[in-house]
């Protein structure tokens, strides 16, 4: 017998059976490959590339954000701990610009850090700054009966006990839609059409979030599950929007009692993909300047005036325990609202949760 055992050494029937077996083996290998690929698409963490991520692009600004999955077996690498922020004055006050961890740990690590900075034009007033690790935290947009409107939302206040077991932080959304000059999309519903050029907080199916101008930095993809638009970008390419004035009480939101230094809030995206939230009693120029000092390369305004600006973090005494008002803390002690806001059914505005 020949030592060659390929199909050419066999009879016609044997060759046919050998070809059939080879074809079935190829089909099985293809099926396994498709299964693996679908598994990577359907689960696991996103791999954020420089051309489609919350990370820095070659130009040093945050890139266009089209998430790509990475293998589920590869551990998520947390973002680097943020560097201390420089004060706007030659001498820092105690603790100014130095980050302190806040909220429950995720995989044994802090994912939220907080600090304060004195306003650039008023050292007697401080703004609160919160930094959030978008690689370890998952964002979700909650909708209210007043903003954006409607009573059929799955995700609405209060945050459910089940969801609160992983809740790390939550913060206010944007203006009422009639004032936002933008659109709103969540849970497959477009409440208001998304507007090209509008400043947009975009949340993807895997919980990652980014900020950009709609149609330029971010756009609709199958992975997008929520978009919250509010005015236009306050910060772009690391610079404040043109034409900002300290006395503005209308263009960037209607200030209560026509006072420019009212409570304001904003959300920014850093070059490496972190989110930074800023709030305090300040004018619109201060808000832009502090977002930039916190590392934002793109940023948008969120809600304003005393009743609507709130950032709270939660740290129960044991892992997996329910977040409550008692184990929550505000970003600034003089915020009007408390950590209970997101845990009460009466809250009728949209907001964002960050969970581990």
What is the pLDDT of the chain when averaged over all its residues? 86
Q: Please list the alpha-helical segments (H only) found in the chain.
A: 12-42, 161-164, 177-180, 284-293
Q: What is the pLDDT of residues 198-251, one digit of tens each?
A: 999 999 999 999 999 999 999 999 999 999 999 999 999 999 999 999 999 999
Claim to verify: residue 19 and residue 163 sit in the same structural domain: no
Q: Does residue 60 lie in a domain region?
A: no
Residue 47 lies in a domain: no
Q: Please give the share of the chain, as a percent, with pLDDT higher than 90.
A: 79
Residues 279, 341 within the same domain: yes
Does the structure show a pLDDT above 90 at 47?
no
Tell whether the model's pLDDT for residue 187 goes beyond 90.
yes
From first CA to last CA, the distance across the chain in angstroms is 66
33 and 85 housed in the same domain: no
Residues 37 and 83 occupy one common structural domain: no
Instruction: Judge if 18 and 158 occupy the same domain.
Output: no
Determine, yes or no, domain membership for 274. yes
Q: Has residue 131 been placed in a domain?
A: yes
DSSP 331-353: SSTT-SS-GGGGGSTT--S-EEE
Closest CA to 154 of 171, 135, 170, 140: 140
Q: Say if residue 92 is in the same domain as residue 205.
A: yes
Query: What pLDDT does 75 receive?
Result: 77
Domain of 29?
7-42
Q: What is the pLDDT of residue 26?
A: 53
Give the tens place of pLDDT for each residue, 296-351: 999 999 999 999 999 999 999 999 999 999 999 999 999 999 999 999 999 999 99
Q: Please provide residue 7's backbone torsions phi and psi, each rounded to the nearest 5 degrees.
A: -60, -25
128 and 35 assigned to the same domain: no
Q: Based on the structure, what is the number of domains in the chain?
A: 2
Verify that 239 and 317 share a domain, yes or no. yes
pTM for the whole thing?
A: 0.82
Q: Is residue 148 domain-resident?
A: yes
Residue 3, token pair as written in the block:
């030592």
Q: Are residues 87 and 171 in the same domain?
A: yes
Asked if residue 202 lies in contact with residue 221, where contact means CB atoms within 8 angstroms, the answer is no
124 to each of 35, 283, 288, how far by Cα in Å? Answer: 60, 14, 18
CA dihedral 185, 339, 312, 101 (to 10 degrees): -150
Is 65 a domain residue?
no
147 in a structural domain: yes
DSSP state, 321?
Answer: P
Mean pLDDT to the nearest integer, 45-68? 38
Same domain flag for 146 and 289: yes
Query: CA 308, CA 329: separation in Å to the nearest integer?
Result: 16
54, pLDDT greater than 50: no
Do 216 and 323 reside in the same domain of the chain? Answer: yes
**Is 228 domain-assigned?**
yes
Contact between residue 190 and residue 143 where contact means Cβ atoms under 8 Å apart: no
**Same domain flag for 172 and 84:** yes
Residue 50 has pLDDT above 70, yes or no: no
pLDDT value at residue 22: 55
Write the pLDDT tens digit of every residue in 120-130: 999 999 999 99
């Amino acid at each position: 017998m020949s030592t060659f055992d390929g199909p050419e050494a066999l009879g016609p029937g044997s060759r046919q059976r050998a070809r059939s077996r080879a074809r079935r083996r190829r089909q099985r290998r293809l099926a396994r490959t498709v299964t693996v690929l679908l598994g990577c698409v359907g689960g696991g963490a996103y791999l954020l590339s420089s051309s489609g991520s919350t990370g820095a692009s070659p130009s040093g600004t945050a890139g266009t954000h089209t998430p790509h999955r990475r293998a589920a077996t590869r551990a998520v690498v947390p973002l680097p701990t943020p560097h201390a922020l420089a004060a706007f004055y030659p001498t820092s006050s105690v603790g100014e610009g130095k980050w302190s961890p806040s909220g429950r740990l995720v995989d044994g690590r802090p994912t939220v850090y907080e600090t304060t900075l004195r306003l650039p034009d008023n050292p007697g007033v401080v703004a609160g700054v919160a930094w959030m690790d978008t690689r370890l935290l998952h964002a979700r947009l909650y909708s209210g009966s007043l903003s954006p409107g409607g009573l059929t939302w799955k995700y609405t206040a209060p945050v459910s006990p089940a969801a609160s077991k992983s809740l790390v932080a939550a913060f206010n959304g944007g203006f009422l839609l009639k004032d936002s000059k933008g659109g709103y999309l969540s849970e497959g519903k477009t409440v208001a059409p998304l507007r090209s050029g509008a400043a947009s907080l975009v949340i993807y199916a895997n919980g990652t979030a980014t900020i950009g101008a709609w149609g330029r930095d971010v756009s609709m993809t199958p992975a997008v599950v929520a978009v919250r638009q509010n005015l236009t970008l306050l910060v772009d390419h690391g610079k404040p929007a043109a034409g900002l004035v300290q006395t503005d009480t209308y263009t960037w939101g209607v200030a209560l009692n026509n006072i420019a230094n009212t409570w304001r809030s904003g959300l920014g995206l850093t070059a490496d993909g972190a989110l930074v939230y800023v709030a305090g009693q300040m004018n619109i120029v201060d808000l832009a300047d502090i977002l930039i000092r916190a590392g934002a390369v793109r940023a948008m305004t969120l809600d304003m005036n005393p009743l609507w600006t709130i950032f709270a973090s939660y740290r129960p005494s044991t892992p997996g325990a329910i977040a409550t008002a008692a184990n929550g803390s505000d970003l600034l002690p003089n915020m009007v609202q408390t950590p209970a806001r997101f845990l009460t059914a009466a809250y009728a505005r949209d907001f964002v949760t960050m969970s581990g």
